[in-house]
Amino acid sequence: MLGFDQIRDQQQPIRLLTAFIRKDRLPHALVFAGIDGVGKRSAATALALHLNCEALQIRGNVSAEGPGSGPAEAPPTACRNCRPCRWILAGNHPDVIRIDPVGKLIRIDQIRRLLDSLAKKPYGQGRRIVLIADAHCMNPEAGNALLKMLEEPPANTILILTTNQTSDLLPTIVSRCQRIRFQPLPSDTIRSLLITQEGLAHQDADVVARMAGGSYTRAVSLFRQGWIARRNWIIREISTPPAAVARLALAEQLANLKEHLPDALECILNYYRDVLVWRYHPRQITNRDLQPEIVQAADNMRAGALIDRIRATQEALRYLKANANPRLTMETLLLQLDAA
Ligand SMILES: [Zn+2]
């Protein structure tokens, strides 16, 4: 939540943003696309700081000298100490407006209120920043209302939409925005952030960083929800020789995880992938802390059976995404895993 210098492993987006700032060519609308937890909102905050910091305005450095002069990287950093900086960091600067989904939707009345407030004069001397987080949650009415704003952009205002992928937004909106793509974070980066920012033990940080699929916030929430213990339980259960009754009970327990059920299937998928990968690339396994279990399973399972299990788990994930009955899907999956 600080300056551009604090955002990890997003060289390309930061290079683009700082180049726009240096040339004083910031587009009036940007889409930050990428999975959750990779720095999109932090980049929006960094931009707001940069465009509103009083120290930078006094030094006349906001637009710098223009192309061809000075080093290509790192524009001057916001002071984080003046009043606008402190307000932005505390989340209460009147010219930095943030809209979040309510429930799972951003509704038209939220966009109308935004347009009303943009019709008023800005509070400070800097530039107004509007962040619409998870912009794919706008319903069509809200999207169309926002489109009007994009067609006649208010002066001195920069609109930033964040989303997982631009294909989830109205094409008419995307075509009016500069697109900036954020990449998933390497697991080593997540691991070191978990240790320094969250104080996790090295081994725990290693496990959740590898489970998180490139998202720092997902890593933090997996840890807080106790997923290391849950993963251990799931892997122990699917590795024990089956008894039909126990299998039905396990299917029910898994189905009861509800919205966390896909995470459980990802655990199963990662485990079988590890067992398969172990023979060829032992350094690439995800569940490094379970190495003894993985070695033992690799000795006992044929590659063909592992591939069948991986396919069955992927198929179950697809069915769940298509709203299949969780309990039936789990019963079918467990039967297929045992039969493979
Ligand atoms: Zn400042």
Concatenated DSSP letters of 105-152: BB-HHHHHHHHHHHHSPPSSSS-EEEEETTGGGB-HHHHHHHHHHHHS
pLDDT tens per residue across span 277-318: 998 999 888 898 899 999 999 999 999 999 999 999 999 999
**Measured distance CA(170)–CA(142) in Å, rounded:** 11
| CA 48 to ligand 1 centroid distance, Å | 10
pLDDT confidence tier of residue 74, bands split at 50, 70 and 90: low
Instruction: Report whether pLDDT(43) > 70.
Output: yes
Determine the Cα–Cα distance for residues 252 and 249; give it in Å rounded to an integer. 5
CA of 254 to the centre of ligand 1 (A): 50
pLDDT band at 70 (very low <50, low <70, confident <90, very high): very low
pLDDT at residue 60, as a whole number = 60
User: What's the gap in Å between 213 CA and the centre of ligand 1?
Assistant: 35
Question: Is the model's pLDDT at 195 over the cut of 60?
Answer: yes
Q: For residue 280, give Cα distances in angstroms to 79, 271, 274, 300.
A: 51, 15, 10, 16
Q: Is the pTM of this model over 0.75?
A: yes
* pLDDT, averaged across the chain: 90
50 CA from centroid of ligand 1 (Å): 8
pLDDT tens per residue, range 121-139: 888 888 899 999 999 999 9
**Helix/strand/coil for 157:** strand
The reported pLDDT for the residue numbered 58 is 72
Architecture of domain 226-339: Up-down Bundle (1.20)
**Ligand 1 geometric centre to CA of 271 (Å):** 48
Q: What pLDDT, in 10s, does the model give residues 139-191?
A: 999 999 999 889 988 889 999 999 999 999 999 999 999 999 999 999 999 99
The pocket of ion ligand 1, defined by CB under 5 A, consists of 53, 55, 78-79, 82, 85
Measured in Å, residue 78 CA sits from the centre of ligand 1 at 5
CA of 79 to the centre of ligand 1 (A): 4
Percent of the chain exceeding pLDDT 90 equals 73
How many whole angstroms from 88 Cα to the centroid of ligand 1?
9
Which pLDDT band, with edges at 50, 70 and 90, does 223 fall under?
A: very high
Average pLDDT over residues 13-27: 91
pLDDT band, residue 68 (cuts 50/70/90) = very low
Residue 320 clears pLDDT 60, i.e. is over it: yes
Superfamily of domain 4-181: P-loop containing nucleotide triphosphate hydrolases (3.40.50.300)
Residue 82 C-alpha to ligand 1 middle, in angstroms?
Answer: 4
Query: How far, in Å, is the centroid of ligand 1 from the Cα of 81?
Result: 5
pLDDT tens digits for 106-123? 999 999 999 999 988 888
- Which pLDDT score is estimated for 284? 87
Distance (angstroms) between ligand 1 centre and the Cα of 216 equals 27
Instruction: Read off the pLDDT of residues 261-275 as tens digits, 9 standing for 90 and up.
Output: 999 999 999 999 999
Percent of the chain exceeding pLDDT 70 equals 94
Tell me the CA–centroid distance for residue 77 and ligand 1, in Å.
9
What is the reported pLDDT for 297?
94
Quick check: 221 pLDDT over 80? yes
Calculate how far, in angstroms, residue 73's C-alpha sits from the geometric centre of ligand 1: 20
Residues 6+ apart with CB under 8 A from 99: 106, 110, 111, 114, 130, 131, 132, 133
Q: Which of 333, 209, 335 is nearest to 264 (CA)?
A: 333
Whether 259 has a pLDDT exceeding 90, the answer reads no
